[in-house]
Structure 1
């Protein structure tokens, strides 16, 4: 499999604290890549480094072999990368309808409602008043409506019911997009994914394991 994204010897600092200690990893094109680890392991920082929302203090980010380290997050998004952060992933002061219309560029957003029919009765509601699981559904719908070929998702099913979470993982696994998921635990639903699932485990800002999902099980 060819590389979609790469981190090379990436270091990220938040003030005096270093969150990533020279991490090197590869995101395979067309695969599902899981960044596994507990809170504070560096999963979210790795996603942000790939997205360009935090700068590297050292190292490089490559996208299909091209160095994009100095490319802004906005420029990366314009070229086909979408990040769904773990917090503030929707426009809380706007309605669900407005959030979806904005993501769909005023085009038809019916596919999002087909995926998450739970959102249909919530269209007039202000997004900030939704439950955590409802906001995750809305955030994922916004990402799926975008033309992005690479989706970076930080704990995508947080707050969802088990049935909706299982449906979400089945949906994500079937997408053609390159996916990078940050998770505390490996979702069992990915065992049956119809495409490769690769895992990078992080601990305290360092990479401690890279391999296929079967090796983790």
Structure 2
């Protein structure tokens, strides 16, 4: 597999505390990769390190073999890399329609409404007044509408109903983009995904397991 994005021996510090201890994480092109770990394991920090919002104290970030460690988050977005954080992922003072228009090519956000028809009656609503699950749908819709070909998604179905979450995982599994999802546990819907799902597990800022979803034991969930 061709590697699209990679952390190599990455260390990230928040003041005196080191959150990542030499993490090496390859993200193959056009695949779905899962980053599993409990709260405090370093999942979010790993996504932020790749996106450029958490600077490395040591190590490198590679994009298609090119060292982009010193590139800003904005410059990485211009390369086609988009981070959808677990909170504050939408423009709260804008309406749902305005959020989608900003992300859509030529202003056509029909694909977002096809994926999440629940958003249609919410179009005139201010995004900041939506429920947590509704904001996640809007944030994912914005990412899907963008031209980005590599998506970093932090707990993408947080707050969604089980039905909408299952639909979201099916949508992501079929998406022809490079995806890195941070989750606390392996979503059952991805265990039987139509394409291989690669899994890396983090504990206390270090990778403790790498393999495929089928190799992840039920007890780890």
TM-score normalised to the size of structure 2? 0.97
Write out the 4+ residue segments of structure 1 that deviate beyond 3 Å after TM superposition. none
Question: Secondary structure of 2:143's partner?
Answer: helix
d(CA) in 1 for partners of 2:211, 2:13: 27
Paired residues for 1:18-33 under 5 Å: 18-33=18-33
- Number of matched pairs: 217
Deviations 1:110-166, CA, capped at 9 Å, x for gaps: 110010000000000000000000000000000000001100000000000000000
d(CA) in 2 for partners of 1:200, 1:114: 32
TM-score normalised to the size of structure 1? 0.98
Paired residues for 1:53-72 under 5 Å: 53-72=53-72
d(CA) in 1 for partners of 2:42, 2:10: 11
Deviations 1:155-195, CA, capped at 9 Å, x for gaps: 00000000000000000000000100000000011122222
d(CA) in 1 for partners of 2:207, 2:83: 21
Instruction: Give 1:174's aligned residue.
Output: 174
Paired residues for 1:185-200 under 5 Å: 185-200=185-200
Please list every run of 5 or more consecutive structure 1 residues that lacks an aligned counterpart in the other structure. none
CA RMSD of aligned residues (A): 0.8
Instruction: Give 1:46's aligned residue.
Output: 46
- More displaced stretch, 127-136 vs 183-192: 183-192
Q: Are 2:91 and 1:91 aligned?
A: yes
d(CA) in 2 for partners of 1:30, 1:104: 22
Please list every run of 5 or more consecutive structure 2 residues that lacks an aligned counterpart in the other structure. none
Paired residues for 1:87-126 under 5 Å: 87-126=87-126
Deviations 1:45-78, CA, capped at 9 Å, x for gaps: 0000011111000000001111010111101111
Question: Secondary structure of 1:89's partner?
Answer: coil
